[in-house]
Amino acid sequence: MGKATEIGVRRTTVQVGGETISCLTAGRDGPAVLLLHGTYWSRVWLPVLDGLAHAGLRPIAVDFPGLGRSGGELTLETAAVPALAEWVARFAATLKIAEPIAVAGHDIGGAVAQHLLAKGPLGISRLALVNSVTYDSWPAPHVARLLERTATPDEFLLARRQAVTTDLAGAATGQLIDEYLEPWADPRSRRSWLAMAGAAESRHTLDLVPALRRSTTPKTLIWGEDDAFERVEYAEKFASEIPRTTLIRVPGASHIPTENAPGPIARALAGFFANPQP
């Protein structure tokens, strides 16, 4: 991550519930924007952090317990979306982030963000979803297959290598793929990932739809159009049914569009979160 250091992105840690939690951040002042990952880790947000900071925001991309660079370990109970939402509230309180908070979510992190908006326990001022799970779009079949039997570490890493190669689309290089895979060399991280995958249930997003349909909070969706699982059709449905939602498509990008079009996505997120209008 040499380039990230040069442009001012830094990794910090904080103690939450007795565990060392890691996050990427940029900028020191300005309104906080909390960035939540799903079945990857905070690395998905790295390409856009500097752009958000240059817009006067303070982005904070946190690693959930047991994932990325964070300590701890997720279980089936603590990896469920409602439990992760409760954990995010504790994390925000630890950092003394004033509510309401601007939140963006990718993949299952988007389900957590939707839960926070629809049910709390954290006040949300603006919501952005990037190739997020919605409705009944999850769990993905390739994720479910890893749970059908006990995979060896080599089998697990091979499956994740195949997934990240597809999800990075045209941005995939050997070095970048290795960066994404690196945390899963730790057995604790692999167990946490399997817990998150095992806890994945579409009811956690389907149950939120009535409250989301009543929501007047501004929302934006940013979507890699070539995502084969979190398909753009789900984003179109969300934008058509959920009030105050806009959809931004990213052609030529798959599940991790921040790597394919970091500049345009950073500008879109910055414009959305830095806009003072209600």
Q: How confident is the model at residue 28 (pLDDT cuts 50, 70, 90)?
A: confident
pLDDT confidence tier of residue 2, bands split at 50, 70 and 90: very low
What pLDDT, on a 0 to 100 scale, did the predictor assign at position 6? 41
Q: Looking at this protein, which amino acid is placed at residue 2?
A: G
pLDDT tens column, 71-106: 999 999 999 999 999 999 999 999 999 999 999 999
**Mean pLDDT across the chain, nearest whole number?**
94
For residue 74, what pLDDT is reported? 98
Note the pLDDT of residue 5: 37
- For residue 277, is pLDDT > 70? no
Nearest to 122 by CA among 147, 95, 144: 95
pLDDT over 90 at 141, yes or no: no
Whether pLDDT at 1 is above 80: no
Alpha-carbon span 30 to 6, nearest angstrom: 21
pLDDT tens by residue, 175-205 = 999 999 999 999 999 999 999 999 999 999 9
Residues 136-145 have a mean pLDDT of: 82
- For residue 150, pLDDT over 80 is answered with no
Q: Are 62 and 35 in contact (CB under 8 A)?
A: yes
Contact (CB, 8 A) for 196 and 134: no
Q: What is the DSSP string of 193-213?
A: HHHHHHT--THHHHTTHHHHH
CA angle 198, 112, 20 (to 5 degrees): 80
Instruction: Tell me how far apart the alpha carbons of residues 149 and 7 are, in angstroms, rounded to a whole number.
Output: 43
pLDDT band at 151 (very low <50, low <70, confident <90, very high): confident
Q: For 46-73, what is each residue's pLDDT tens digit?
A: 999 999 999 999 999 999 999 999 999 9
Position 203, amino acid:
R
pTM of structure: 0.95
pLDDT value at 32 more than 80: yes
